[in-house]
A and B are shown apart, each in its own frame.
Chain A
Amino acid sequence: MQLAETSLVAALRDGDEAAFTRLVKEYGAAMLRVARLYVGSRAVAEEVVQEAWLGVLNGIGAFEGRSSLKTWIFRILTNIAKTRGEREGRTVPFSALASDDEPSVDPERFLPDGHWASPPPSFGPEERLLGRETRAVVDEAIAGLPPSQALVITMRDVEGFTSEEARNALGISETNQRVLLHRARSKVRQALEDYLR
């Protein structure tokens, strides 16, 4: 454990409210976004987040720092969210690596020799790219992904987790994480192209 983390854990064990608030502010919004991908509604996602924090508080006495505090918190969150999602009849299959038959770009866009027939058109002016609507397009594209891909891109690209943090929180291999991330990014890029072209 890093020094700052050790003292934060100690403060939490002592029931220090400022330490708790600091952690909630740091991870709460990300936890809610992640939980939302497992369960059917925002209200249930909030319950999951609350349950996860209780799990954190009840487990903090036994936390040994073998993973980072962040990874440990998100591991608790994803376990609770998964159970809750399964109760609702929703599952997030991570098991097998998706097969390789899901190309990043429509094969029709390439010539028989594998070079571009229809190269990516420009994304257009920066103002449009930075606009609220463009963000909404990306948000929707992520929501429309298979859940395992949505989770990985949310952790990595929206919330800024490292690949190690994401794969530990999700309990998947580095390769699996990278394949899911690539699929997700490829589809979101296509959604942006469709919108901006």
Chain B
Amino acid sequence: MKLFRRQPLACIEVVELVTDYLEGRLPARDRRRFEEHLSACDGCDAYLEQMRTTIAVAGRLREEDVPPELEERLLVAFRDWRA
């Protein structure tokens, strides 16, 4: 999004930049403005923290295991392929 260079960031702009910030894609100057805003704004600080929490909860949906019956079917397919 286009930022107004001279003015401090508004909260409505900050919430659009969170992923760019977390991905390290903000140019240094915007990153500084983003961090300056956060240090003075509890609402945006909480917002960033909640985005981090959201990412963490999403990460806990990950399942380690393939369903065993699917794994079994895949093995059968593998043995057919190798034969």
Contacts and interface: CB of A to CB of B under 8 A. Distances in A.
Contacts of B46: 119-120, 122
Which residue among B46, B61, B82 has the maximum number of chain A CB atoms within 10 Å of its CB? B61
Q: Is the interface of B mostly helix, strand, loop or mixed?
A: helix
Contacts of B73: 46, 50
Given A138-B57, A189-B54, A110 B12 contact: yes
21 contacts: A17-B79, A17-B82, A20-B74, A24-B75, A29-B66, A32-B66, A32-B67, A46-B73, A49-B74, A100-B1, A104-B16, A110-B10, A116-B41, A116-B43, A122-B46, A123-B50, A158-B62, A160-B62, A182-B16, A185-B55, A186-B51
Contacts of B20: 178, 182
Contacts, number: 143
B50 A120 contact: yes
Given A114-B11, A134-B57, A163 B70 contact: no
Nearest to B9: A114
B57 A135 contact: yes
| Dominant secondary structure at the A interface | helix
A159 B55 CA distance: 11
A153 B73 CA distance: 28
A29 B55 CA distance: 19
Given A49-B70, A178-B20, A182-B18, 4 more contacts: A17-B79, A24-B75, A105-B47, A107-B12
A192 interface: yes
B23 A178 contact: yes
A192 B66 CA distance: 28
B43 A192 contact: no
A20 B78 contact: yes
Interface string A133-165: 011001100100000000001000111100100
